[in-house]
Amino acid sequence: MMSIPALREWDGPMTRELLLEPGRFGLGQVPGTLKPMSVAKAICGFCATGCGLKVHLDANGQAVNVTPDAEYPVNLGMACPKGWEALTPLWSDDRGTTPLINGVAVGWGEALDLFCERFREVQGKYGARSTAFLSTGQIMVEEMAFLGSLAKFGMGMIHGDGNTRQCMATAATAYKQCFGFDAPPFTYADFEESDVLVFVGGNPAIAHPIMWQRVERNRNRPEIIVIDPRMTETAMAATLHVPVAPKMDIVLFYCLAHEMLKRGVVDRDFVQKSTSGFEAFCAFLEDFEPSKHLSNMGLTNEVFERCADLIVKGKRVSMWWTMGVNQGHQATRTAQAIINLCLMTGNIGRPGTGPNSITGQCNAMGSRLFSNTTGLLGGHDFTNEKDRMKVAEVLGINQERIPQENSWAYDQIIQGIHDGEIKGLWMIATNPGHSWINQKSFTDAVKKLEFFVVQDMYSNTETAQLAHLYLPAAAWGEKEGTFINAERRFGVSRKVSKAPGQALADFSIFRLIADAWGCGEMFGQWTSAESVFRLLTQVSRGQPCDISGIDGFDMIEASGGIQWPCVGTSSKTELKRAERRLFEDGLFYTPSQRANFIFEEPVGLPEKPDEHYPLLLLTGRGSSAQWHTETRTKKSAVLRKLHASKLLVDMNSEDLVGLGLGEGDRVRVVSRRGKVEAWVRETSTIQRGQVFLPMHDPDVNKVTLGVFDPESRQPGYKACAVKIEKVS
C-alpha cells in the first residue's frame, strides 16, 4: 500500500547518503558509507614534511579514506590538500597496468628479457659506463638502496643520479662542506621555539603548510623575516618582508654578516671553540659594507637595518631556506652564507636556532643518504677504500663490485647522452620530460639513446611516452617501506591499496631485474623492504646517520617516527624525546670537529635582462594543491579546483602599462630557448621588471635557462631573461 507522501521529506535515501557515524579509532564522526573496519598508518608520499596519515580500511584491508594522524609528532592531526587526497591518484583510471614495449602491452617475462638483452647489448658495444640510471626522491629508502645497489654493484653502472639533484643537492653539498656530513641540524620543534624566524627563498605557507602550522603554533610572538623578491603568502604573514632582488640574497647575507661584525654581536666563544676559517671570513667581509650594496640588492637602508636589528635582538634565531636558495647559479655559497651567519652568531645547536634547509620530496633525505648515487650507501664515499670495504662486508658482496669513482651528476649524465657517452638510460619515478631545466635539452637527448626504460605508476607522463620500455610501478600506498623527512625522521608507510593490473612495487621490479640479470644471488637477502632496512641499519653503523638502534618497522611506527641518529645505546627516554636536534655539543662531523666558514665572491646573474629580453622570469610553486609535474595531483578533481585552471603569469602594473597589456590578456613568455603561453594577472605582489610563472605547466621549462651551481650541480630554475608578447 502506498503511503501518502509527506509535504516535506526530512529523511530519505539522499539524506542518508550524507549521514555521519562514529568512526571509532579516535577518528570522530566519519561518512557512514566510508566507515573503517580498521586503520593503518602511513607517511604521506608527497613532500618532505613527512606527515603521518591514518588510512581507513574496509573489511578487506583496502583503503577507503584517509585522515591526518592526530598522534604523529610531525603534523599533529593536520595535512595539506595533497595529503587529504593522497589516495585519489592511486585510483585514477589511467594507471599503467602492464609493461609496454614501444607502447604495446607485453607480459613481465618479455619486458624483463628485453630489459636485460638491450642493456647488455649496449654495455657490450660501449662498455658498462655507457648505461646509467636516473631516479627520484619519491620511492622508499629500501627501494632506493636496492636500485642503486642493483644498478651499480649488480649491473656495473657507474653513473646514476636522482631528481633530488633538482631540489636538494645544494643543501646537501653546503652541509657536507661546512659540517662534514649532509646533516640538517633541526627538528620541527625549532619552528615553535625561535623568537626570530628567517625564511629565505621559500613560501612555506603554501609549499609546506604543515611546517607553517608549526610556525603559527610558536608562542613567543616571533618576528618573522621573509627574504623573497615576491610578496608571497608567507611574506604577507611576516613581520618584515625583505624584497631582495633575485639572486642577490648571497650579497644580503654577506652584508648582514658584515653588519654583525660591525655591531660586535659575534658569539666569539662558539666561533673559537667550534668553527674554523672565521678570520679569513672577516677579511672577506670587508667589501660588504651594506650601504655600497643596497641599490644592487634593491633594498632601502631602513629595511636592511630593521632586518639586521631583528637578527641581533633575537635570542633564538633560526634561518630556513628552500628552492629560492637551492636553485641558483651560486646556490651552495648562498646556503653557506646563511650557515655562516648562524655560526658567527652562535645560532646553532640550541632550541629554535639553526641554518635549516627545508627539503622538497617525501624521501629526498633518503635519497641523499641511501640511494647509492652521489655517495656510497649510508653517506659513505665511493672513493674511500675503507668505506667500500665496510659496505661490501655488510652486504656480503665482493668489494670489486663497488665503483671506485663518483657518479656524474644529473646534468652531466644528460650531457653524456648528447656526447654519445651514455647510450642506455633507466629512469624511475621522475618526469624530466616536464621538469628538466631548458626541457628541450632533455627531450633532444632522449632521442639519441639506444635504449630508454621508464618505470612509473603512469605510462602517460611526458617522459614515459618517450620510453622504449615502460615498466608499470605500484605507487605509494601499494607497498611498504620508509621515508626520511626533512628533520631526519624515519617514518613507515604501509601497503593499504591494491595496485592495478600487473603493476608491481618498485622493490619487486628490482628483485625481478636482479634475478633476470643473473645477479639475484648478490641480493639473496633483499627479499622484503624490512630485510633491506635491517641491512641499511648495519651499513649506517658508525656514521653520523647511524640508525643501528632501530629494530625494524614496528619500532619506528610505535615511536611516532625516529630521527637519525639512533644508535643501539639510545635509551628509551632519549627516543621518547620525539624531537631532537644536532650539534648540541658544538662538535661537528669534520675531521677537526669544527664547522667551516666557506665563502666566495658573488657572481652576477648568468642571464641579465637586456633590451631584447627585458624582464626577469621567476618560477616557483603555484599552490598547495599542485605537486611538481602534477602527474599525481592532476588526477584529483578536488586538487584541480584549488588552482587556476589556466597558466597565469604574474606581472607588475608598471610593466603592463609599458607593454600596453592588461589583466586577462593572453601573452607569450619568450626566452632565448623557447616560449610558453599564459594569461596576464596584474598583481602588486611582483616587483617591476620581474614576472612569475608557476612551475607546474609542462611548457614552463621550455623557457628556463640551463645553468648549474658549480658545487652542487643543481639547476638554477629561478631567474632568466624573457620578453612578453601579446597573442592576438
Partner 1 sequence: MNAVGKKLSGDRPHESGVTESLLLEEVLAEQGKLQTAVATFAEWHEDEPLMAGHYRQLIPMVRPKPGEQYAFEVKLDECTGCKACVAACHSLNGLDDDESWRDVGTLMTRRAPAYMQTVTTACHHCEDPACANGCPVLAYEKDPETGIVRHLDDQCIGCSYCMLKCPYEVPKFNLRLGIVRKCDMCSSRLGNGEAPACVQACPNGAIGIQIVLRGQESRVVEERLLPGVVESGYTRPTTRYVSSKTIPDSAEAADEGNLRVEAAHWPLVVMLVLTQAALGVFIAVAVSGQSWLAWFANGFLQVGLAASVLHLGRPLRAWRAFLGWRKSWLSREILVFGGFAGAGSATLVGWSAWWAVGVGLIGVGCSIMVYVDTKRPDWSMGKTTIRFGGTVVSFMALAMAWVDGRWIWIAVIAQGVKLGWECMELVWDRRGYHSRMHWEALPVWTWARMLGAIGVMGLTWYSPGLAVTGLVAIELLERALYFKTVKVWRMPGS
Q: Binding to partner 1 by residue 545, rule CB under 8 A?
A: no
Helix, strand, coil share (%) of the chain residues, nearest 5:
35, 20, 45
Q: Which of 70, 105, 265, 394 binds partner 1 (CB under 8 A)?
A: 70
Contact code string over 408-447 relative to partner 1, x by CB under 8 A: ----------------------------------------
User: CA 577 from chain center: how many Å?
Assistant: 26
**3-state class of 413 per DSSP?**
helix
Contact code string over 23-52 relative to partner 1, x by CB under 8 A: -xxxxxxxxxxx--xxxxx-----------
Contact code string over 105-144 relative to partner 1, x by CB under 8 A: ---xxx-xxx-xxx-x------------------------
Q: Binding to partner 1 by residue 534, rule CB under 8 A?
A: no
Interface positions, 552-591, toward partner 1 (CB under 8 A): none
Q: What is the DSSP letter of 380?
A: B
Nearer of residues 175 and 451 to partner 1, judged by Cβ: 451
Interface positions, 372-411, toward partner 1 (CB under 8 A): none
Q: How far is CA 191 from CA 16, 174, 562, in A?
A: 44, 21, 19
Q: Binding to partner 1 by residue 689, rule CB under 8 A?
A: no
Q: Is 162 exposed, middle or buried (0-12, 13-18, 19+ CB in 10 A)?
A: buried
Interface positions, 647-686, toward partner 1 (CB under 8 A): 653, 663-664, 681-685
C-alpha cell at 212: 607553517
What distance in Å separates the CA atoms of residue 171 and residue 643, rounded to the nearest whole number? 29
Maximum Cα–Cα distance across the chain: 97
Report yes or no: 411 and 708 within 8 Å, Cβ to Cβ: yes
Q: Which of 3, 13, 386, 610 binds partner 1 (CB under 8 A)?
A: 13
Nearer of residues 608 and 646 to partner 1, judged by Cβ: 646
Q: How far is CA 512 from CA 111, 142, 266, 521, in A?
A: 11, 15, 57, 12
Report yes or no: 483 and 490 within 8 Å, Cβ to Cβ: yes
Q: Binding to partner 1 by residue 77, rule CB under 8 A?
A: yes
Residue 2: CB minimum distance to partner 1, A: 14
Q: Binding to partner 1 by residue 511, rule CB under 8 A?
A: yes
**Number of residues located near partner 1, criterion CB under 8 A:** 115
Q: Which of 4, 11, 219, 221 binds partner 1 (CB under 8 A)?
A: 11
Report yes or no: 479 and 506 within 8 Å, Cβ to Cβ: yes
- Facing residues of 121 across strands? none
Report yes or no: 564 and 141 within 8 Å, Cβ to Cβ: no
C-alpha cell at 325: 636558495
Closest residue by Cα to residue 374 from 185, 533, 158? 158
Report yes or no: 221 and 679 within 8 Å, Cβ to Cβ: no
Interface positions, 216-255, toward partner 1 (CB under 8 A): 216, 231, 233-234, 236-237
Strands 595-596 and 451-456 turn out to be unpaired
Contact code string over 608-647 relative to partner 1, x by CB under 8 A: ---------------xxx-----------xxxxxx-x---
Q: Which of 92, 399, 443, 508 binds partner 1 (CB under 8 A)?
A: 508
Binding piece for partner 1, criterion CB under 8 A, among 14-22, 271-279, 425-433, 693-701? 14-22
Q: Binding to partner 1 by residue 12, rule CB under 8 A?
A: yes
Q: Binding to partner 1 by residue 493, rule CB under 8 A?
A: no
Residue 93: CB minimum distance to partner 1, A: 13
Residue 233: CB minimum distance to partner 1, A: 4
